[in-house]
Each structure stands twice: as C-alpha cells, then as structure tokens.
Amino acid sequence: MKKYIFTKEDKHRVKEAVEALEKESSGEVVPFFTRQSDDYDEVSWHLAAVLGISGISIIALLSYTWLLPSISFLEALIVITGLMVFGYFLPILFPILKRTFISKERMMEMVSLRAKEAFLNEKVYDTKEHVGILIYISRLEHLVLVLGDEGINSKVQKSDWEEVVSLITDGLKQKQIGVGLVNGINHCKELLLKNGFVRKESDTNELSDELRIKK
C-alpha cells in the first residue's frame, strides 16, 4: 500500500502545514494516522469456519461418489484442521481481505470509536479555548474523520469538514497521502479564519505539530 506510506518529506510538510495554520489561526490541529481501527478478529473465525465446513463437505461428497482416496479419519481430521488454521491466519497475513467481510457500518463504528479515543489520548480537548481539531486517517478502512472540540464546533459545522475529508481522500486515491493531508490541513486553516478563529498575541502552541502514526 504505497499510497499509505508517509515519507520523511511528507512528515516534514505536514508539520509545516500545521505550523502555518497555527501561526494565523487560534486552532490546534492533530493529524493522526493508524494502520487499522480494529483487528476484526471475527473475520479470522469466519474464514476458519467456512473453510472447515467446505473441507467437510468436499470430503463427504467425494466419499459419497466413491472418488475419495483411501484416507483414515485422522488424516481427514488433519486436512480439515489445516484448512481452518489457514482460514484463520489468511486475513492476518493479508489484512486487506478483512474489507471484503466487514460491513461499512461496522468499519465506520470502529473508526468513529478509535477516533474519539485518539481525541482523548492526544489531549485534543486540552486547549485553553477548546479549539483542537483531530484529523484521523485509518488505512485499512479507507476512512477519514475530522473531529473538532466544542470551541470549534460552536461555529464550524460538521458538514464543513466534508471538504477536508474529500481533499485527503483525493490524495489517497492519487497515491499522495502526504499531499492530501497537507491540503486538508490548509483547508482547515481557511475554515478557521473564515469563522473568526484568528490567532491572538497570547496564543501559545499547546499541542505538538508532529504527525502521529500508530502502527
């Protein structure tokens, strides 16, 4: 997934974009990237069951049609167990398969939950005037969420963040995640200035400007 890899230059540009936003506006932006928002272990168990049942069905069918080679019960059990183990580890080795078996609603639920956790863990809420903004990107689910603190949300509507999300996802589609995130941060700055969140002389940098990456 090369389009989801941040180069050293990307990280530097993201930090510069956050610094530029905070030089002109009173907002504090926290860009956060994670590999996935949940392990979705149920997919492993689901595939293990599917392959196990398929193995039993094939063996039964071959036995019924007299096409099954002469094998013992233990050998058949080993084959079925092997299929189940393979099914269990397949989505772990190839996480992208999880997207095939997980509903959009389930993925959105987990992304929303983890974004809220990141909002708390990164102390986005902990600014003097409650002007923190979290930009949360989850790779596996291909989802982006923008969460503003109450000081921001008093003026900026949730629908206003849709353009920020769109700019970031456009960057993902073009395999330029760094560019997309920088464009999204720049649009955040426009929204803040448009809604009167102009930097004051007393403003200080309350949150780190670095890109957070959770493996």
Average model confidence (pLDDT) for the chain? 91
Contact present, 136 and 118 (Cβ < 8 Å): yes
Whose tokens are 């959770």? That residue is 214
Mean pLDDT of 97-122: 94
The arithmetic mean of pLDDT across residues 103-109, rounded, is 94
Provide CATH 3.10.310.50 ranges for the chain.
Answer: 2-38+103-214
What's the predicted TM-score (pTM) here? Answer: 0.86
Q: Name the 3-class secondary structure at 146.
A: strand
For residue 29, the SS3 value is strand
pLDDT at 3 over 90: no
**Domain at 2-38+103-214: CATH architecture:** Roll (3.10)
175: left (phi over 0), alpha (psi -120 to 50) or beta: left
